[in-house]
Amino acid sequence: MTRTVVESKTKTAVLGFDEPFCVIGERINPTGRKKLAAELEAGDFSTVEKDALAQVAAGATVLDINAGVVYNSNPNPNETEPPLMRKIIEMVQGLVDVPLCVDSSVPGALEAGLEAAEGRPLLNSVTGEEERLELVLPLVKKYNVPVVAISNDDTGISEDPNVRFEVAKKIVERAADFGIPAHDIVVDPLVMPIGAMATAGQQVFALVRRLREELGVNTTCGASNVSFGLPNRHGINNAFLPMAMGAGMTSAIMNPVALPVGPKKLAEKKAEVEAKGIILPADMDDETFCQLFGLGSTKPRAGKEMEAIRAANLLTNNDPHGGEWIRFNKSPDEAGAAGGGRRGGGRRRRA
Amino acid sequence: MTRTVVESKTKTAVLGFDEPFCVIGERINPTGRKKLAAELEAGDFSTVEKDALAQVAAGATVLDINAGVVYNSNPNPNETEPPLMRKIIEMVQGLVDVPLCVDSSVPGALEAGLEAAEGRPLLNSVTGEEERLELVLPLVKKYNVPVVAISNDDTGISEDPNVRFEVAKKIVERAADFGIPAHDIVVDPLVMPIGAMATAGQQVFALVRRLREELGVNTTCGASNVSFGLPNRHGINNAFLPMAMGAGMTSAIMNPVALPVGPKKLAEKKAEVEAKGIILPADMDDETFCQLFGLGSTKPRAGKEMEAIRAANLLTNNDPHGGEWIRFNKSPDEAGAAGGGRRGGGRRRRA
């Protein structure tokens, strides 16, 4: 049985066909987050702290750490990213106890992350590109860690799933040459946006099945890519994740947190409410307002995707007796802690 | 390619591996609905009318009709059910144009339904029980209709999925002896409650795959059974349906409608709101109240399961260009009507 073991100093996360889905929190990543990038350049780690705590509370079992910020003061990531990677990892490790995923395209940052991370982090990532193979696989071997393998190579990302399978196979074979076992390769078969490629879902489900059956590897993906450009992205993601899990996908790099209701949305809703002639008490706090008006919360919470994943864990027999499901539905925002099992349910046939 | 064709006088619903999921609305059924049973005995069809309209509006493409009421005045269903079946079918056909599914365990009611239904209704159901095979298959042949085949036999419902597969196979073979093709058999592999049987999901997904690959038949199920006895049943059903569709399930007998907010829930919410010091205008109508306070609606609407099914149609490439998905998310409560397609989305890789 394929088991990919990822460890912090005190906690273990296992990816496997008979394990609950591994949720790798993607939030600690300044790519495309200008505000976070500016904070990091100024030495302000408050957002990173919040993101670490919120993701673990929402149910992430591994946290991805990406320090890919381009400083205004120094545009060379080879100089800035390694020390920042080290700094963020040390900070996050002081705050939460889940295993980490060291995520970079900068060689020095990968090595800095591997040195700083306690336990056995996941490395993110190698591709089928020659240069990356030669650079990353020795690190994987040297530090004895598992690695995410993305199915593109020097020719780019193929739209043909058979080509992507062959790239994954090549990476597994090259890793074997380095003495790295297949169970330490976590293949990302690449999820295309369904709005641009109608077969994107079917491709991934078929690829995951083949990767599992023919290569015996665990798999991961950037789950939210599938819904890019379409309305109600959560609605698509919430169906995609259970379907991918049914096909055998064992992890995803994703945001487990429903973003808190911000000041703008609060103000809009209050204006709408008052326009209808409703009078609010002057001392009503924002959180009470949100809850009464079905707005969500001013605090981060577990996102709907986490409900879909927990239901699919139950349906793939990776939540014995439904203990996690029952606990999650009592207290969805304290999903990070461990919980006991209790048997529920009965039996019924439709009439 | 396996295509099961179900028709009304003017509309066709096709079950198939390359077709959008077929939603068979289950609401018109007095079993376990005492109030509806009493209404029907009193000749009041108003609930049936409402259920027919609401289910079609929510996206049902076939309506199941079950007249299995036990009258206080006459406890013999062989006498009461056939005329009631005929009456309900005539009434529903006058109201909506979708194909029907004639659902009974009373032979006379099946034949009455087959006579009353225009077009090519689905018959529900035959089992592997000898008596049922001998009774129902001749009707299927005589009226040239497709039939739901439930995988239990004279020994009951087996917990062993291999036994349930063999029962389905026997029904398909016996049907062939009558000259009924496999594409007119829609197998219900029987969904057990996951709370009582941890492998229930895996069993169904594996069975659906085998039924499709080895027998070439379409499949259906009573989808909500899977969550019986557990908290947040919708959360489980919303994951189960996409997973079943990913495995190849082509229809379900289910409730597509989210029940409207009733007077009790309205009163509770109003009390909660007023206890917090909020003053409501005296003339606020219930529907406005529901919408402002995130309660849902006083009118029936498409249930969350319909969102999951539509997302899974998109992800199984049965919603080309996402046209239906885009339309549904603009106006989820008018999902019954046909709509055009428009291309959405772009392409992105996760960073």
pLDDT greater at residue B187 or residue B331: B187
Distance between terminal CA atoms of chain B? 40
In a domain, A341, yes or no: no
Q: pLDDT tens, B154-195?
A: 999 999 999 999 999 999 999 999 999 999 999 999 999 999
**Contact state of B314 with A194 under an 8 Å Cβ cutoff:** yes
Number of domains in chain A: 2
pLDDT greater at residue A100 or residue B333: A100
Q: Are B342 and B63 in contact (CB under 8 A)?
A: no
Q: Are residues B138 and B285 in the same domain?
A: no
Q: Are residues B270 and B313 in the same domain?
A: no
Burial class (CB in 10 A: 0-12, 13-18, 19+), A328: buried
* Residue of B202, B243, B261 to mutate when probing chain A, most A C-beta within 10 A: B243
Q: Are residues B267 and B250 in the same domain?
A: no
Q: What pLDDT shows up at residue B168?
A: 98
**Contact state of A194 with B26 under an 8 Å Cβ cutoff:** no
CA distance B187 to chain A (A): 15
- List % helix, strand, coil for chain A (3-state, nearest 5): 45, 15, 40
DSSP per-residue codes, B55-87:
HHHHT-SEEEEE-----SS---HHHHHHHHHHH
Q: Are residues A238 and A111 in the same domain?
A: yes
Q: What pLDDT shows up at residue A333?
A: 57
Q: Are residues A71 and A89 in the same domain?
A: yes
Mean pLDDT of the residues in chain B? 92
Q: Are residues B288 and B307 in the same domain?
A: no
Q: Are A136 and A123 in contact (CB under 8 A)?
A: yes
In a domain, A349, yes or no: no
Q: Are residues B147 and B220 in the same domain?
A: yes
Q: What pLDDT shows up at residue B75?
A: 87
Check pLDDT > 70 for residue A335: no
Report the C-alpha gap between B125 and B132 in whole angstroms. Answer: 9
pTM: 0.93
Host domain of residue B274: 263-292
The residue of chain B with its CA nearest to that of A222 is B350
What band does B71 get if pLDDT is binned at 50, 70 and 90? confident
Q: What pLDDT shows up at residue B155?
A: 95
Report the C-alpha gap between A330 and B127 in whole angstroms. Answer: 40
Percent of chain A scored above 70 by pLDDT?
94
The residue of chain B with its CA nearest to that of A351 is B31
- Identify all chain B residues contacting A277, using CB atoms and an 8 Å cutoff: 280-281, 284
What is the CATH classification number for the domain harbouring B48?
3.20.20.20
In a domain, B56, yes or no: yes
Check pLDDT > 60 for residue B340: no
In a domain, A348, yes or no: no
In a domain, B200, yes or no: yes
Q: What pLDDT shows up at residue B93?
A: 98
Give the one of A196, A253, A280 whose C-beta lies nearest to B278's C-beta. A280
Report the C-alpha gap between A350 and B113 in whole angstroms. Answer: 20
Q: Are residues A330 and A279 in the same domain?
A: no
What band does B335 get if pLDDT is binned at 50, 70 and 90? very low
**Contact state of A317 with B198 under an 8 Å Cβ cutoff:** yes
Mean pLDDT of the residues in chain A? 92
Q: What pLDDT shows up at residue B141?
A: 98
Check pLDDT > 90 for residue A343: no
In a domain, B59, yes or no: yes
Give the phi and the psi of residue B136 in degrees, each rounded to 5: -90, -40
Angle at A33 between CA A27 and CA A34, to 5 degrees: 150
Q: What pLDDT shows up at residue B23?
A: 98
Report the C-alpha gap between B23 and B63 in whole angstroms. Answer: 8
What band does A320 get if pLDDT is binned at 50, 70 and 90? confident
CA distance A349 to chain B (A): 7
Report the C-alpha gap between B145 and B120 in whole angstroms. Answer: 6
The residue of chain A with its CA nearest to that of B311 is A236
Side chain identity, residue A254: M
**Contact state of A276 with B284 under an 8 Å Cβ cutoff:** yes
Q: pLDDT tens, B205-254?
A: 999 999 999 999 999 999 999 999 999 999 999 999 999 999 999 999 99
Q: What integer is the mean pLDDT of B40-57?
A: 96
How many CA within 13 A on the CB side of residue A303? 22
Lowest-pLDDT range, A91-105, B95-109, B320-334? B320-334
Check pLDDT > 90 for residue A66: yes
CA distance A348 to chain B (A): 6
Check pLDDT > 50 for residue B344: no
What band does B333 get if pLDDT is binned at 50, 70 and 90? low
Q: Are residues B245 and B222 in the same domain?
A: yes
The residue of chain A with its CA nearest to that of B67 is A351
Q: What integer is the mean pLDDT of A192-201?
A: 96
Q: What pLDDT shows up at residue A332?
A: 62
- Identify all chain A residues contacting B68, using CB atoms and an 8 Å cutoff: 351
**Contact state of A345 with B194 under an 8 Å Cβ cutoff:** yes
Question: Residue A189: how many CB atoms within 10 A of its CB?
Answer: 26
In a domain, A344, yes or no: no
CA distance A253 to chain B (A): 9
Among candidates A26, A2, A25, which has minimal Cα distance to A14? A2
Q: pLDDT tens, B274-298?
A: 999 999 999 999 999 999 999 889 9
Instruction: Tell me how far the alpha carbon of residue B125 is from its chain's centroid.
Output: 14
How many CA within 13 A on the CB side of residue B175? 30
Task: Tell me how many residue pairs between chain A and chain B have CB atoms under 8 A apart.
Answer: 232
Q: Are residues B141 and B285 in the same domain?
A: no
Check pLDDT > 50 for residue A148: yes
**Contact state of B229 with A344 under an 8 Å Cβ cutoff:** yes
Q: Are residues A271 and A219 in the same domain?
A: no
Q: Are residues B189 and B275 in the same domain?
A: no
The residue of chain A with its CA nearest to that of B348 is A225
Check pLDDT > 60 for residue A235: yes
- Identify all chain A residues contacting B344, using CB atoms and an 8 Å cutoff: 195, 229-231
Give the phi and the psi of residue A279 in degrees, each rounded to 5: -105, 120
**Contact state of A272 with B281 under an 8 Å Cβ cutoff:** no
pLDDT greater at residue B348 or residue A56: A56
Q: What integer is the mean pLDDT of B12-39?
A: 96
Strand A12-16, strand A3-7: pairing: antiparallel
Give the one of B200, B284, B351 whose C-beta lies nearest to A32's C-beta. B351
In a domain, B344, yes or no: no
Domain boundary among B241, B275, B292: B292
The H or E element containing residue A278 is none
CA distance B165 to chain A (A): 18
* Residue of A34, A314, A321, A328 to mutate when probing chain B, most B C-beta within 10 A: A314
The H or E element containing residue A240 is helix A233-247
ipTM field: 0.92
Q: What pLDDT shows up at residue B332?
A: 62
Q: What pLDDT shows up at residue B259?
A: 85
Q: What pLDDT shows up at residue A331?
A: 75
Angle at A220 between CA A217 and CA A224, to 5 degrees: 160
